[in-house]
Amino acid sequence: MKFIIGIGGVTNGGKTTLTNKLMQALPNCCAIHQDDFYKKPDQIEVGEDGFRQWDVITSLEMEAMVNTIKGWQENPVKFARSHGVSLTPKADELDPDNRIHILIVEGFLLYNYMPILDVYDQRYYISIPKDECKRRRSTRTYMVPDPPGLFEGHVWPMYLKHRKEMEYNCQSIEYLDGLKSKEDIYYQVFERIQNRLLKHL
């Protein structure tokens, strides 16, 4: 059985933290991070807002991401081994026969790219308010540092635009409150996944 979970959300909302916690808890679990598919900085266009357009779908090599997801779908065992993920060596209460393979796809524009909209068995989206998002982002160190005014001038406006698009295109998303503790968010999602898997075993 193959099971794909989408974890989308606002920048600095806690997507990677949640993904890492789930990977440790779920059997035969791999992850694909949308951030790994960014184009090189010199390939990112400068928009009308005067900023390099990091927060739009064209800044990402989405075809490569789709192909990576397909690679997992075709052979999750081979995919796991080639990505250094050890498969569950012992019987697991969720998967006593070692038949489940789980993929977590994590990123900020997961539900804005139509070719992969239908691959997810469950879709989650973490939201936090603007002030908290700005505060968290200011404490992060990026490979390409944020220029002054990027958050107000590009990051947040693009988030609002894409969230509206996403809500129009995809209704079956479970929204998570990113202000809750990391543990609470994790347990909420883990329980949902567990219930869904147990129904299919």
- Helix (H) or strand (E) holding 9, with range, is strand 2-9
- Cα–Cα distance, 56 to 112 (Å, whole number): 10
Side chain identity at residue 24, one-letter code: Q
Q: Which one of 35, 49, 177, 184 is the catalytic residue?
A: 35
DSSP 144: S
Q: DSSP letter string over 69-121?
A: HHHHHH-HHHHHHHTTPPP--S-BTTBTTS--EEEEEEESSGGG-GGGTTS-S
- Rounded to the nearest 5°, which phi and psi values hold at 79? -60, -50
Q: Is 35 a catalytic residue?
A: yes
Q: Which residue's entry shows tokens 């977590």? A: 104
CB within 8 Å of 44: residues ≥ 6 apart: 38, 52, 53, 54, 59
Catalytic residue list: 35
